[in-house]
Amino acid sequence: SFIVAAAGVLILSGPASGQTAAPDYLRTGIERIQAGDFQPGIMMLDEVVAPWSRADAATMARAHAYRAQGFLGLHQPENARAAVLLALKASPHISVTAADYSADVVRLFDEARRPASAVSPEIAAAVAEQTWNYRDAFAGYVAVYQGLADPAPAEDDRRLREKIIALARRLDPPPAIPQDARTHYAKAEQLLEAQAVLGGAGTASLEAAAGELQRAIRSAPWWGDAAWKLATVLQRLQRVDAALTNLNL
């Protein structure tokens, strides 16, 4: 038997003999997903598809399929599509029917099996992330982020930066801050110094500083110093929602 704590720690308890029972990650993960407990369910199924797993291809495919269902429950369609592609890679003829999976998962498999189906760069990055290829996933998400419209849609900006920041923390050595980002950051600091001298007449300097910091973040979306500085500038410009987003990031 086992318990999943809130922080995601797996605590095993063995039988009276003192031997530790091996948890059935597939069965329990599926049960969690079907009960709507998506994050712990995905964590269980991750053990089935991990590089160290000894599960056969059919079992891995089934785990990926239910991971897709969990990701849809968490409103992460890109991750769900990536899990579908990994399921098909593990077992191309996996049977996915409404008797076992949600209608949305069945639809994703139908779409993925169409000959003309294309894999977007963000889904390709999600595939790399879900196969523990963190450096390629990081590079892929950064490319997607830098390809967004300017200004970027708020939801896309937040979602992609969250992914990039999480991956940057996994990389060793950590990603370097590009010189282009540092140049924009330095310009922002100069503008903020000018605003401090001008006082109330320096609103234009605040706006310009925010623009430079946004360019710095576009170049290095994982850079915490730039996000923090932008949050303070946006707060002074009374753009509270955007300031909070950057503060959280």
Residue 20 in this model has a pLDDT that exceeds 80 = no
Rounded distance, CA 128 to CA 111, Å?
20
Q: What is the pLDDT of residue 116?
A: 76
Is the separation of the CB atoms in 94 and 58 below 8 Å?
Answer: yes
Q: With beta carbons less than 8 A apart as the criterion, state whether 73 and 33 touch.
A: yes
Phi, psi of 9 (to 5 degrees): -85, 130
Q: How far is CA 170 from CA 11, 123, 134, 135, 244, in A?
A: 24, 19, 7, 9, 24
101: left (phi over 0), alpha (psi -120 to 50) or beta: beta
**What is the pTM for the complete model shown?**
0.86
d(CA 6, CA 50): 21
pLDDT tens for each residue of 33-55: 999 999 999 999 999 999 999 99
